[in-house]
Amino acid sequence: MGRGVDIIMLDRIRASIPALPPAEQRVAKLVLLDPRSFASMPVTELAERSHVSKPTVVRFCRSVGYDGLADFKLKLAGTVNEGVPFVHRSVDEDDKPGDLIVKVIDNAVSALLKYRNDATGHTFERAMAALVTTAQQGGRVEFYGVGNSGIVAQDAQHKFFRLGVNTAAMSDGHVQVMSATMLKPADCAVVISNSGRSQDLIGVAEIAQRKGATLIVITASGSPLANLALGSGQILLAANHPEDFDRYSPMVSRMLHLMIIDILTTGVALRLGPGLRPVLQEIKRNLRTRRYAQPE
């Protein structure tokens, strides 16, 4: 579809309108007005409603990067059938609370569904295998992040700690350097970054590589940090999203990172086997006596 993973379908159409001929602009506006109906209408009706010829409808589909009307409608219908908006809906200053609820949730759900469709199972398989090997050999799993990513690293450490893994999370740059310097080949370093451009995290990733530890990077593809994880024995779990990390506080990206951690935690727990279950049950029993008031 030709414009990059961070631009979703109606955004692309809206952005292309100024460059389209006037007749094709009318087709584009019809799509934006009612995408669901457009996906189900025959070409004759589409042409009549747009006040253009049938060939113009087809030309519009090709102008915005699709093979033709059939390909365009297939992609459009697939997106509509996800049941969530596929426009990146930016908030406005005059939005009411109800509008904010819809826009923020729709953006999050759209990003999660898009990630579900783009994620590759084999990279997760490699990451899970590396984490399980480290856990079984008694190695360390160290999570590194700064700012919002540091909070995600703490969440990851909490989840893996409950699995009995020797783990820690660091968000202070100096402590990260010391921790990475003590890594061994049996260890895993998981580096989490929204932009992939943090000098502190790039430096830590380079140290982890020099120490021979397995490097797992969760960040935007194509970033300097992501490029470090493209070498042999390193693992990139790309988390691409439509947020501008230079302008906005991370929201969607943080949820993507947390979801990736949840996937890794679930996979590692399953691979560690049934022996883990009694420990988790005992933890829950012990916590229950402290967390909840007992019924009278």
Domains of the chain are 9-80 (1.10.10.10), 118-287 (3.40.50.10490)
pLDDT recorded at residue 292:
63
- Closest by CA position to 150, among listed 178, 180, 174, 173: 173
pTM above 0.75, yes or no: no
- Point out the least confidently predicted range of 161-165, 174-178, 218-222, 250-254: 250-254
Flag whether pLDDT at 247 surpasses 60: no
> Cα 56 from chain centroid?
37
Average pLDDT of 243-266? Answer: 78
Can you tell me the mean pLDDT for 225-248? 77
Mean pLDDT of 160-167: 93
Residue 274 has pLDDT above 80, yes or no: no
Beta strands in 31-146 (DSSP E): 140-144
CA distance 92 to 107: 14
Report how far apart, in Å, the C-alpha atoms of 135 and of each of 54, 176, 216, 287 are: 61, 20, 15, 24
Compute the chain's Rg from CA coordinates: 24
* Mean pLDDT, range 24-28, rounded to an integer: 94
Least confident of 31-40, 51-60, 189-198, 221-230: 31-40
Weakest mean pLDDT among 99-113, 128-142, 240-254, 273-287: 240-254
pLDDT digits (tens, 9 = 90+) for 97-121: 887 787 777 777 777 887 887 888 8
Question: Looking at the predicted structure, is the pLDDT value of residue 95 above 60?
Answer: yes
- Which range of 141-155, 217-231, 273-287 scores highest in mean pLDDT? It is 141-155
CA 119, CA 101: separation in Å to the nearest integer? 27
Q: 35-91, pLDDT tens digit by residue?
A: 888 888 889 999 999 999 999 999 999 998 888 888 888 778 765 555 444 444 456
Residue 132: exposed, middle, or buried by beta-carbon count in 10 A (0-12, 13-18, 19+)?
Answer: buried
Q: Is the pLDDT of residue 1 over 50?
A: no
CB 188 within 8 A of CB 157: no
